[in-house]
Amino acid sequence: MEPVPLAALFVAAIAVSLAVAWVCWQRRDGNSAATCLTLVMVGIALWSAADVVLLLDVGAGLRRASQPVAFLGAGAVVIGLWCLPRALADPSWRPSGRLRAALVVEPLTITVLTVLPATWPWIYGGTDLSAPAGQVELVVGPLFLAHAAYSYLMVLSALGLLVWRLRSSTTLARRQTGVLLLSVLPPFVGNAALTGLMADQGTVDLTPVLFVLTGVVAGYALLRMGLLRLVPVARSHAVDTMTDAVVVSDPAGRVLDLNPAARALLRRVRPTSTVDPLGATLAQVAGPDLATLLQSVAGRSGGRPTELLPGLWCDVRTTPVTDGRGRLLGRVSVLRDVSEERARHLAVEALNARLLAQLEVIERLQEELAEEAVRDHLTGLHNRRHLDRVLATMLLPDGAGSPVALLALDVDHFKAVNDRFGHAAGDQVLRGIAGALGRVTRPGDTVARLGGEEFVLVLPGADPAQAAARAESVRQGCAAVVHRIDGGSVQVTVSVGVAVRTGDEGPGELLAAADAALYVAKAEGRDRVVLGDGGRSGGDAPVEVLGASTPS
């Protein structure tokens, strides 16, 4: 081939390589694969530039000076290709300082040997650098062949990693790996063939031209397939960095893999165990209870919160792993520490229990306050407020319902008790009368203190005869009570006025009738029961004296 078209091919290789290198360099942040591919592309450009010099009519000195550049470019290509599959497998991979030093030793050595006059013949011993333009044929020596063998071993190891990744990767990663193999294999095979010719009779090194294909394919992968932008996350970063414990076990319950969080959890569960988890059974490393749990929850859609240790709660989820025929290959168990959530849940439950208890206390206090509001503080009987509410309910305006009797009761000569024995004794007598009234009441009756020494009993369903009989029982019961006071005892009597609803009388009318009957009882000599004639005639209604101890 004429030197000008051949030089044009090399210039094309330089342009394509530098363009791809620029795109890769722009995407290098957080992606070491981009840096590796940049190194490969820059190496191709240097290598191609050195070969362009061999094609030009520039003299033997400048042609010889271009060869160290060619070795630097070739070394960069080899190092970049060796690092690339590792960076693709783990985007965060970075070569250590020692590894970097080891990788540059051979390229720098061969470059220095190319510069030294004493070692030049061992590299290009039969090469005529003074030949006309386009006719320089490289004839290599033993040092070049040793360099080539080292480079092939490096590239072969990289190709081996790419082939392994091609077989074990997901669909996306498999496509990316296939593209890289497609771009690297032609230059590798072509360089091997050219090296054989250079060792035998000498030829022009066209390897950089073959690398044009590498640049074109890599550029397509970058721009159309998302290479370096859609690099799969490595397992070590997807699992090892998880805060949840992950344990992989086989069907027999032996641990196949686990992440650092799982190791820490197992040490916490069994701090005295010295068994290496890998290869051991779940029962050996986790204890029989946890091992049974990990295997029993397989296939459950949800986790099972379990207390592994006092205060250590874990949500355990186990997923079976099966092959295409449904045969069990193993289990993947994920244990999430939910101790804080559980503690908060228990705290909320305890708080709710305390709130419920407090609500019960508040309700009870409210009931007590409501009851106290309708109770007389001295006797404990209901007060006028409660009496009015009861009468308003029983004595409906339409007069419907069963009969209702009202007993108005007054303690006879109560002022004399206060004057003779004091108000404390009077209070004691009132409490005694209240107790006597409570003993003669029946379910449904209402007993109320209106104030002072006056009381009222409401007897629902009582007709006049029943009301009169109940009133006489009340009178006798109160008279029989012996009130113990300071300095001795005292007995008192009561006068009772009875009114029975005979029509549509309201509460006021019935109370007035009972008061009128009580007035008669007191006027007739006290200690007696007087039955009034309902509430229609008010205070002028006829009355009937039903019972008395002795005439006054």
| Catalytic site positions | 453
CB neighbour class for 101 (10 Å; exposed up to 12, middle 13-18, buried from 19): exposed
Q: Which two structure tokens, joined as six digits, stand for 512? A: 């007035």
Rounded Cα distance, 261 and 495, in Å: 90
287 φψ region: left (φ > 0), alpha (ψ -120 to 50), beta (else): left
Q: Which residues contact 84 (CB under 8 A, 6 or more apart)?
A: 33, 36, 37, 40, 158, 180
Overall residue count recorded for the chain in this entry: 552
| Nearest CA-CA partner of 383 in 392, 374, 394 | 374
Q: Which two structure tokens, joined as six digits, stand for 460? A: 């629902």
Q: What are phi and psi of 486, to 5 degrees?
A: -60, 125
| Nearest CA-CA partner of 113 in 78, 77, 142 | 142
Rounded Cα distance, 211 and 364, in Å: 91
Q: What are phi and psi of 48, to 5 degrees?
A: -65, -40
Rounded Cα distance, 235 and 214, in Å: 29
Residue carrying the six token digits 């339409």: 398
Q: What's the longest Cα–Cα distance across the chain? A: 165
| Nearest CA-CA partner of 408 in 453, 454, 444, 440 | 454
Rounded Cα distance, 541 and 520, in Å: 11
Rounded Cα distance, 184 and 287, in Å: 52
| Nearest CA-CA partner of 64 in 112, 106, 120, 109 | 120
C-alpha to C-alpha distances, 537 to 308, 364, 533, nearest whole angstrom: 85, 45, 8
Rounded Cα distance, 50 and 39, in Å: 17
- Chain mean position to CA 364: 38
Rounded Cα distance, 424 and 410, in Å: 18
236 residue type, one letter: S
Q: Which two structure tokens, joined as six digits, stand for 28? A: 């290098």
SS3 category, 109:
helix
CB atoms within 10 A of CB 491: 12
